Structure 1
Amino acid sequence: MFRHAQLESVKAWISDPAHAALPLHARVQRAIRQLILDGVLDVGRPLPATRALAKSLGVSRDTVESAYSQLHAEGFIERRVGSGSFVSERAQRLQGLGNTARPRTQHETTRLSQRGSALFQGGGVRDFLLPRAFAPGVPETRSFPLQTWERLERQVLKDYGTQALLHSPPQGMESLRRAIANYVNLERGARATPERVLVLTSSQQALTLCAQVLLDAGDRIFIEDPAYHGARKAFDAAGLECVPIPVDSDGLRVDQLLESTQAANGAAKAVFLTPSHQFPSGATLALDRRLAVIDWASQQQGWIIEDDYDSEFHYAGKPTACVQGLDPHDRTIYIGTFTKSLFPGLRIGYMVLPPALVAPMTVARTLLDGHSAPIPQLTLARFIDDGHFGAHVRTMRSIYAKRRDVLAQLITEHLADYLEPRVPAGGMQMPCLFTRDLPEHEAVESARRAGIDLLGLAALHASSRHQAGFLMGFAAHAPHELEAAVKKLATVLDTLCG
């Protein structure tokens, strides 16, 4: 029989709310198993008869019988006809394992690989899970044509049946690759074919692939300064040496890039660009600089990694043609995403690759997640082909332009003592520079506690040459919501400044 303490331990395990989701027989089984693992019940120790234990626990005999049967099947107990149930000798090897889940002391550390440490210390990339003001890069989802999407998804399931439930080719569904190629050729001036498109889950995955497939640890890569934090973290985690190149109103300072190339002992093997809307300044890379970067890549046999993350939203004339479409040497990797143009939950991005990189990138992708889900891919292909994507982008472009202007006006009216807006020609967020000395990190944290998400500008710089401020997203919020959030931010900053 169980001692009183052992019986009470089983009762406590059964009644613990943390185990409430388990069936009763499983709770009894796991409670006894834990006593065995902890060494409380020694090898050869007899267990109570099922009837007696059921009475002690206030449960049915069938419940205890089911628990014992499972313990026997797992090798924790032996059942002898006419003699009862006993702790199995095989359980002796497992005793003591029950304590392995104890909390670590402050002196214990988890040993990670160098790569694992770099990934962890880099902090990852934070997604803004809820569209709180002023989370950058978050689109308006309330205006998305959900009924149209649902109708197209039903068509996909009807036409493909159970075929849509199978694996997608790792390069992506052919219909979506064709739709993407047609779209970027028409709207972005790209030189794409379906065979050169690789469908991914995100632009972040594309950056990780570029860092791992194109460069080795210790290799140098030019990055914009300031730069998109997700790119820099991907490159840092891969062990690359990021060389910052300053940005001005015309984008990346290509003259500085060329000077760094001449001065360096080992030339950089790639350059990372956000040429349509430089992140976070919003500057557009001038045409002569685009051509100069292309010449650099050709001469150095380097790679251009072009992140075209939100080029659909350009508010003054037509957006400039992408670098990839201007590059006759096939040294440019073009990265795009539907996360910002449609909705974050879609999780579809893509790369347009030089022909020589299609097979290596596709094989490398299979080691990350295998493939993207077929049903969203097939639905998106129809959404693009039927003209719904273009119509949605045009609608949101108009809405976002108005919201950009509203935010700029609200900052001028309510935050002029603290911020100066730099109104971008496109995109979904606005850089705002401090007009007085403020502790950026403290301001960001104070705003977060008040329900406002801001991205600090200083943290996006690799060099010490920077101006502090905020990157403020405006796309996901209506004018009255922006007004309320600006007034709340004004209160936060008033309190911070005393």
Structure 2
Amino acid sequence: MGPDGVASLSRPLNRALYACIRGAIQEGSLAPATRMPPQRDLAVELGLSRNTVMFAYEQLMAEGYLTARTGSGTFVADTAPERFLNASVIVATDPQRQGAVPMPGLSPRGQRLIANASASSTQWGAFMPGVPDLARFPHRRYAQIAAKLWRQPHPEWLSYSHGGGLPALREAVAAHLRVARSVQCDASQVLITEGIHQAIDLVVRMLGTPGETAWVEEPAYWGIRGVLEVSDIGMVPRPVDAEGMTLPDTGAVLRRPAPRFIFVTPSHQYPLGAVLSLKRRRELLEFARRQGSWIVEDDYDSEFRFSGQPIPSLQGLEPDAPVIYIGTFSKTLYPGLRMGYMVLPKPIAAAFQTAHAELYRAGHLMTQATVAEFMQAGDYAAHIRRMRPLYARRRAILAGLIEQYLGPDALHEHASNAGLHLVLRLPDGVDDAAVAARAREQGIMVRPLSRYYMTPSVQRGLLLGYACVPEESIAPAFHTLMRCLH
């Protein structure tokens, strides 16, 4: 909107409406706790489509300006976000005395975390990366197992977890990893977590000291950078090529202290897709042993390889490797499960299990019992076998469309025939973040590749997830994205 409240013709109506409401909240015209009109009523009153109003409301809720109350409606939030983001000290009026009272604001690292936040408010639809097909999850079978367990639950399953998680699930995870990923482990080394972020947080807390450094792939998953940022662990980006993370020349003298951690996605580099070569794997293990570094292997989607033999884990390559292996059920089952696992070297496993219970007061043992039986009965492996050819078909459809309309060079050269997303390359001069924002306005969710880089020398592109898109919807969604590109 312009200063006179008239929508600017230079931007879409949904963005204009969002800006108008946001401005009214910031200047106080819409006071906290004000009830907003229902979306349908506001659309009729303004002569707009309901989708236009829905976008504005959803964006304002994602940013904290509005809040929805079930059964009551949508309200202006009690606090505007800028008050907390723009100053380290907030001044508030004290009714008991004249003047102002300083209030603590966000810490510098908290401000950096918020400033670099990348989590999307929308987690489903074309072409959201990293999301499996939730409609194909075997809901009925899973519900049968859960219902049976709930009829006569063990009392200890309704309390806090201790010892690294439910023993039955730890046994099932260890058995699966030994067969499917060549991980060298037994159940005593397995720790059940609430996802990869919690696993990384625990690793850094237990083994790191503020001021130490970590090597991270360049580009790398933004979630790892967020956890390291708030833990005051310095990050050293290591470029990725066709063989994965690059390493210093053998015998080279490091210009800075050796990294305490090396974070790597060796089986399917995220986000580019390269596979860490055997030569580099051995060099990495040798380097870590020599320097006293910990390798954190993120094996986030290795179950979905569509050609050739599965890539074995780095952890299982050598006995007693200095590797902490982490994985997740988010890609094989569903993200909302919030369940992952760690495989720890035996000397530190018990300490991690105790620390996990102390820090996070873990629970969800009924859910763990359900997943354990789901795995033990063979349903987990069967589900993966069903989804693998389905995702392969969807990948082939999307890759074919990209090659047809943009040429074979549009697919990133490091991509391997695996995973749940593709990387569409864009010319260096293209603002991939702007393209992603424009696509979002059209209902297409993609992630800009530039957001995964720490250094200025970034590649431009888009991450396109295909796993959650039905085959018949891929082409229409792709053509919508093409219009945004043009």
Q: How does 1:69-468 map to 2 (within 5 A)?
A: 110-123=104-117, 125-127=118-120, 129-169=122-162, 171-255=164-248, 262-416=253-407, 419-420=410-411, 422=413, 423-435=415-427, 437-468=429-460
SS in 1 for 2:135: coil
1:274-323 C-alpha deviation (Å, 9 max, x unpaired): 00100011111111211111111111111000000000001112212101
Identity percentage over the alignment? 32
User: 1:471 pairs with 463, 467, 472, which one?
Assistant: 463
Change in Cα spacing, 1:270 to 1:327, as seen in structure 2 (3 Å) is: farther
Q: Deviations over 1:174-207 (max 9, x none)?
A: 0000000011011100011111111001011111
**2:48: which partner in 1?**
none
Q: Which residue of 2 aligns with 1:87?
A: none
**5+ residue gaps, structure 1:** 1-15, 19-95
Cα deviation, residue 367, structure 1: 4.5
Structure 2 letter corresponding to 1:290? R
Name which of structure 1's ranges 408-417 and 167-176 shifts more when overlaid on structure 2.
408-417
Q: Is the 8 A contact 1:128 1:135 kept in 2?
A: no
**Which residue in the other structure is 1:66 paired with?**
none
Q: 1:397 to 1:318 in 2, by over 3 A?
A: same
**TM-score relative to the length of structure 1:** 0.74
- Give distance in 1, aligned partners of 2:433 and 2:108: 28
The alignment partner of 1:222 has SS state of strand
More helix by share: 1
Mean Cα deviation higher: 428-437 or 152-161: 152-161
How far apart are 1:485 and its partner, in Å?
0.9
Unaligned runs of 5+ residues in structure 2 are 1-32, 36-91
SS at match of 1:437: coil
Structure 1: distance between partners of 2:315 and 2:435: 39
Q: Secondary structure at the match of 2:333?
A: coil
Aligned length: 394
Farther-moved stretch of structure 1 (131-140 vs 362-371): 362-371
Deviations 1:330-371 (A, max 9, x none): 410000000111111111101000122223322332354311
Distance 2:130 2:253 in 1: 36
Offset at residue 138 of structure 1 (A): 0.4
Counterpart amino acid of 2:435? Answer: A
Distance 1:420 1:487 in 2: 16
Cα distance in 1 between the residues matched to 2:235 and 2:419:
25
Is the 8 Å Cα contact of residues 161 and 357 (structure 2) preserved in structure 1? no
Mapped to 2, the partners of 1:184 and 1:418 lie a distance apart of 36
Deviant stretches of 4+, over 4 Å: 96-100, 107-110, 415-419
Distance 1:233 1:297 in 2: 23
What one-letter code is carried by the residue in structure 2 that aligns with 1:111?
A: G
Give me the whole-angstrom Cα distance separating, in 1, the residues matched to 2:309 and 2:300. Answer: 16
Mark the structure with the bigger radius of gyration: 1
| Pairwise CA distance, 1:459 | 1.8
Give the CA deviation at 1:446.
0.9
